[in-house]
Amino acid sequence: MREQVENKTSSSETLFYEVIASEELATRLAVPTSWVRDQVRGRAIDPIPCLRLGRYVRFQWGSPELAAWIQRRKSGNGKKRLV
Protein backbone atom coordinates (compact mmCIF):
# COMPACT_ATOMS: atom_id res chain seq x y z
CA MET A 1 0.00 0.00 0.00
CA ARG A 2 1.52 3.28 -1.10
CA GLU A 3 -0.11 6.66 -0.80
CA GLN A 4 1.06 10.24 -0.72
CA VAL A 5 0.54 12.46 2.33
CA GLU A 6 0.64 16.20 1.90
CA ASN A 7 2.63 18.26 4.39
CA LYS A 8 2.43 22.05 4.12
CA THR A 9 5.33 24.08 5.43
CA SER A 10 5.26 27.69 6.58
CA SER A 11 6.83 28.90 3.32
CA SER A 12 3.75 27.70 1.40
CA GLU A 13 5.88 24.89 -0.03
CA THR A 14 4.08 21.54 -0.24
CA LEU A 15 5.94 18.31 0.50
CA PHE A 16 4.62 14.83 -0.18
CA TYR A 17 5.69 11.79 1.80
CA GLU A 18 5.06 8.25 0.65
CA VAL A 19 2.83 6.37 3.11
CA ILE A 20 3.91 2.75 3.49
CA ALA A 21 2.84 -0.26 5.56
CA SER A 22 4.95 -2.23 8.06
CA GLU A 23 5.83 -4.85 5.46
CA GLU A 24 7.22 -2.25 3.05
CA LEU A 25 9.22 -0.49 5.79
CA ALA A 26 10.66 -3.84 6.86
CA THR A 27 11.68 -4.55 3.27
CA ARG A 28 13.33 -1.15 2.89
CA LEU A 29 15.21 -1.51 6.20
CA ALA A 30 16.05 -5.19 5.52
CA VAL A 31 14.58 -6.34 8.84
CA PRO A 32 11.72 -8.70 9.74
CA THR A 33 8.19 -7.26 9.79
CA SER A 34 7.83 -8.46 13.39
CA TRP A 35 10.79 -6.25 14.38
CA VAL A 36 9.11 -3.19 12.83
CA ARG A 37 5.89 -3.95 14.72
CA ASP A 38 7.82 -4.34 18.00
CA GLN A 39 9.53 -0.98 17.44
CA VAL A 40 6.18 0.81 17.01
CA ARG A 41 4.85 -0.27 20.39
CA GLY A 42 4.84 2.24 23.23
CA ARG A 43 7.18 0.12 25.32
CA ALA A 44 9.98 0.50 22.76
CA ILE A 45 12.83 2.74 23.96
CA ASP A 46 12.78 4.86 20.81
CA PRO A 47 9.57 4.00 18.89
CA ILE A 48 9.41 4.40 15.12
CA PRO A 49 7.41 7.54 14.21
CA CYS A 50 4.18 6.38 12.61
CA LEU A 51 0.62 7.27 11.68
CA ARG A 52 -2.06 5.35 13.56
CA LEU A 53 -5.23 4.97 11.53
CA GLY A 54 -7.49 2.97 13.79
CA ARG A 55 -5.96 -0.49 13.97
CA TYR A 56 -3.65 0.26 11.04
CA VAL A 57 -0.12 1.62 11.37
CA ARG A 58 1.54 3.43 8.48
CA PHE A 59 4.87 5.22 8.04
CA GLN A 60 5.74 8.42 6.15
CA TRP A 61 8.75 7.45 4.04
CA GLY A 62 10.91 10.51 3.45
CA SER A 63 9.58 12.48 6.41
CA PRO A 64 12.09 14.31 8.64
CA GLU A 65 10.84 12.38 11.70
CA LEU A 66 11.48 8.97 10.15
CA ALA A 67 14.81 10.10 8.69
CA ALA A 68 15.92 11.33 12.15
CA TRP A 69 14.84 8.03 13.73
CA ILE A 70 16.87 6.07 11.16
CA GLN A 71 19.89 8.33 11.75
CA ARG A 72 19.66 7.77 15.53
CA ARG A 73 19.51 4.01 15.01
CA LYS A 74 22.51 3.71 12.69
CA SER A 75 25.41 1.69 14.09
CA GLY A 76 28.67 3.50 14.54
CA ASN A 77 27.24 7.01 14.86
CA GLY A 78 29.19 7.54 18.09
CA LYS A 79 26.25 7.03 20.42
CA LYS A 80 25.02 4.04 22.34
CA ARG A 81 22.84 1.82 20.18
CA LEU A 82 19.26 1.43 21.41
CA VAL A 83 18.52 -2.03 20.05
Q: Which domain holds residue 13?
A: 3-73
pLDDT at 74: 87
48: in domain: yes
**Which residue in 71, 67, 80, 69 sits closest to 18, CA to CA?**
67
Task: Please state the φ and ψ torsions of residue 19, each to the nearest 5 degrees.
Answer: -95, 120
pTM above 0.75, yes or no: no
Beta carbons of 49 and 66 less than 8 angstroms apart = yes
Tell me the average confidence (pLDDT) per consecutive run of 10 residues in the chain, 83 residues long: 55 78 97 96 93 96 95 72 50
25: in domain: yes
H-assigned helices in 1-83: 22-29, 33-40, 64-73
Q: How many domains does the chain have?
A: 1
pLDDT at 16: 86
pLDDT at 4: 57
Q: For residues 58 and 54, what is the distance between their CA atoms, to the nearest angstrom?
A: 10
